[in-house]
């Protein structure tokens, strides 16, 4: 399936793309039209104005996507939702100290000049790691060594 989001991906879009590829559509193809009106009919838009998979009711697109894909029963994904929320919105709804670091890392990554596809390749690994870390921490109640 085709998935569309704005170019210059940052934390919320990177997190959504990871979620889609890992849990929803392993063969996902991502495109980056600058204008929401330029999204092809066969693509599902996310983190764009007017998209169902966007910011709604004070939630970031990743949180919206978790609910839309029925993945919100996974506590590790919920926790990542809180981290992405704070990295993206910084409204202090949640206590998520990892958010500041994630924001800086992805912002820096986008400054190094790779394409959005390159960014998603690196952030995919990053979110794989964050997921594993969060999952183990929730299992043992301790940060994994």
Partner 1 sequence: MGMSQAEDWVLLAYRLPRVPSTPRSAVWRKLKRLGVAWLGDGLVALPADPRTREQLEWVAEEVTEHGGEAMLWQGRPLDAGARSAVVSRMTAAVAAEYEAVAAEAAAVRTADAAARRRAVARLRRELHRIQDRDFFTCPQREAARRAVEHLAAADTAGTRA
Residues contributing to the site for partner 1 (CB under 8 A): 8, 10, 49-50, 54-58, 90-91, 100
Choose between 113 and 141: whose C-beta lies nearer to partner 1: 113
Compute CA distances 34 → 16, 31, 40, 43, 74, whole Å: 17, 10, 12, 14, 32
Choose between 56 and 133: whose C-beta lies nearer to partner 1: 56
Element (H, E) at 3: strand 2-4
Query: Taking the complex as a whole, how short is the minimal distance between the CB of residue 6 and partner 1, in angstroms?
Result: 8
Query: Taking the complex as a whole, how short is the minimal distance between the CB of residue 2 and partner 1, in angstroms?
Result: 22
Q: Quick check: 37 and 26 in contact, CB under 8 A?
A: no
Choose between 81 and 131: whose C-beta lies nearer to partner 1: 81
Q: Quick check: 44 and 53 in contact, CB under 8 A?
A: yes
Query: Taking the complex as a whole, how short is the minimal distance between the CB of residue 132 and partner 1, in angstroms?
Result: 28
Query: Taking the complex as a whole, how short is the minimal distance between the CB of residue 86 and partner 1, in angstroms?
Result: 12
Compute CA distances 69 → 22, 38, 79, whole Å: 12, 24, 16
The rounded distance, in Å, linking the Cα atoms of 91 and 140 is 29
Choose between 42 and 92: whose C-beta lies nearer to partner 1: 92
């Amino acid at each position: 399936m085709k998935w569309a989001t704005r170019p210059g991906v940052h934390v919320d879009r990177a997190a959504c793309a990871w979620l889609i590829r890992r849990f929803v559509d392993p063969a996902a193809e991502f495109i980056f039209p600058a204008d929401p009106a330029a999204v092809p009919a066969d693509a599902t838009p996310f983190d764009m104005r007017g998209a169902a998979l966007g910011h709604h009711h004070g939630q970031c697109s990743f949180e919206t996507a978790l609910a839309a894909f029925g993945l919100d029963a996974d506590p590790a994904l919920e926790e990542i939702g809180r981290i992405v929320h704070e990295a993206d919105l910084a409204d202090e709804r949640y206590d998520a100290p990892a958010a500041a670091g994630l924001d800086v890392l992805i912002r820096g990554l986008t400054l190094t000049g790779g394409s959005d596809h390159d960014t998603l390749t690196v952030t995919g690994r990053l979110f794989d790691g964050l997921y594993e870390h969060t999952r183990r921490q929730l299992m043992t109640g301790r940060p994994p060594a």
